[in-house]
Amino acid sequence: MSLSATTREAVAPQSISPLMTFLFAAACGLVAANLYYGQPLAGPISASLGFSPAATGLIVTLTQIGYGLGLLLIVPLGDLLENRKLVLTLIAVSALALIGAGLASTPMMFLAASLCIGLASVAVQVLVPFAANMAPDATRGRVVGNVMSGLLCGIMLARPFASFLAEATSWHTVYFVTAAIMVLLVAILRVKLPVRVPHTKLSYGELLASMAHLALHSRVLQRRALYQAGMFGAFSLFWTTTPLLLAGPEFGLTQNGIALFALAGAAGAIASPIAGRLADRGLTKIASTLAMLLGMAAFLIGHFAADGSMAALLLLTAAAILLDFGVTTNLVVGQRAIYAISPEHRSRLNGLFMATFFAGGAFGSAIGGWAFATGGWAMTAWIGLCFPTFAFLLFLTEGRQLKAA
């Protein structure tokens, strides 16, 4: 007897092909990149639209606020609503928001569009648990790692892409081109994504209430989120302050030179599939230890890279690669661990996990800017070292009864 249409829609595929994994990875990378175009364009946008010096920081901050709200209020809907429709709707909204940013003629119009870009970009955090649900247990870490490599490539390539395109054309063009990419992505995903209807029957209010329960009672979630908050705080501090260092009198790099430096960080995406395979083999603790040690090593190396010489630039590049490897590895094994807690709660778990470490990243960015203005790169590097060190010391307290995977 054939399955009814309703039943067929509710059943998610039990495996995911390499081509589908690539599609998930590409979609995540393209959507996640929307969050970062404003960072290298803040100066031209501010000058064009008449932002005050004090308000220029809002160009990035409003996007981050939107993303943080989306993690808590929209991502959990992945456990409640049909995933394909939710993803398509969010990406379509992001296309409209990007067009709005490109057309903006006043600061308020641009900031409203930035907030919406952040909210809609949480589509990536619906896609990642979507892919995890399609993967069998034995290869879930590998699939998550491969998808995350695409997401991280998008994050790291967004800044140089925006810099190069804006220099060749204008900052408006960046937003119009990326909006067109989102429209094309919607068309492709509409055809290729399978239907997945979650089994959760809760109301939206009950869904949000259940998140509080998960946050208070899941030790694996709590620990993994705090580990990654420390690592992502280091990541955000580094990538907030190194452009300031490189553009300063010691190095004197142009915008294109800084964009090329940012490309080196994309090498960290290679760590994602490796980390996923380690997690699938039960080597989560080893991978976590290595990740946090790499984060600490990055700032120890980077501390000696401030004199503007070629050797200093090479050391700073090595530090960027080591840090990105460490952050990526810890992220993937952390996601593998929290996805194993409860299949029906994956979107809510993912939202809480991401929101927690995103807060760590925001703190890292804020304190990094203060440290660089107050004590230069030397002070910044020492403070940056504290973030992965905190994560590692907390990790060492993990009891034997708590398994990280």
Instruction: Give the whole-number percent of the chain exceeding pLDDT 70.
Output: 92
Does residue 400 surpass a pLDDT of 70? Answer: no
Does residue 2 surpass a pLDDT of 60? Answer: no
User: If you average pLDDT over residues 251-275, what whole number do you get?
Assistant: 75
On whether the CB atoms of residues 318 and 299 are closer than 8 A, the answer is no
* Higher per-residue confidence, 141 vs 361: 361
Rounded to whole angstroms, the Cα distance separating 295 from 231 reads 7
On whether the CB atoms of residues 315 and 383 are closer than 8 A, the answer is no
Structure tokens at 327: 């952050």
User: If you average pLDDT over residues 379-404, what whole number do you get?
Assistant: 84
Q: Is 125 exposed, middle or buried (0-12, 13-18, 19+ CB in 10 A)?
A: buried
pLDDT-derived band at 14, boundaries 50, 70, 90: low
Q: For residue range 94-147, list pLDDT tens digits in order.
A: 999 999 999 999 999 999 999 999 999 999 989 988 888 888 877 777 787 788
Task: Give how far the C-alpha of residue 275 lies from the chain's centroid of Cα atoms, to the nearest Å.
Answer: 16
Residue 268: predicted pLDDT:
67
User: If you average pLDDT over residues 56-68, what whole number do you get?
Assistant: 80
CATH superfamily entry for domain 15-198: MFS general substrate transporter like domains (1.20.1250.20)
Residue 54: predicted pLDDT:
62
Q: Is 1 exposed, middle or buried (0-12, 13-18, 19+ CB in 10 A)?
A: exposed
CATH placement of domain 206-405: 1.20.1250.20
Prediction pTM value? 0.77
On whether the CB atoms of residues 107 and 55 are closer than 8 A, the answer is yes
Q: For residue range 192-233, list pLDDT tens digits in order.
A: 999 888 877 778 888 888 888 888 888 999 999 999 999 989
Instruction: Give the whole-number percent of the chain exceeding pLDDT 90.
Output: 34
Residue 262: predicted pLDDT:
76
* Higher per-residue confidence, 397 vs 64: 397
Q: For residue range 78-93, list pLDDT tens digits in order.
A: 888 899 999 999 999 9
Residue 53: predicted pLDDT:
65
pLDDT-derived band at 392, boundaries 50, 70, 90: very high
* Higher per-residue confidence, 359 vs 178: 178
Listed in order, the ranges of the chain carrying CATH 1.20.1250.20 are 15-198, 206-405
pLDDT-derived band at 59, boundaries 50, 70, 90: confident
Residue 175: predicted pLDDT:
97
Mean pLDDT of the chain: 84
Task: Give how far the C-alpha of residue 293 lies from the chain's centroid of Cα atoms, to the nearest Å.
Answer: 21
For 228-239, b/e burial (b = at least 16 CB within 10 A) is: bbbbbbbbbbbb
* Higher per-residue confidence, 175 vs 13: 175
Residue 388: predicted pLDDT:
96
On whether the CB atoms of residues 51 and 45 are closer than 8 A, the answer is yes
Q: Which residue has the tokens 């034997």?
A: 400
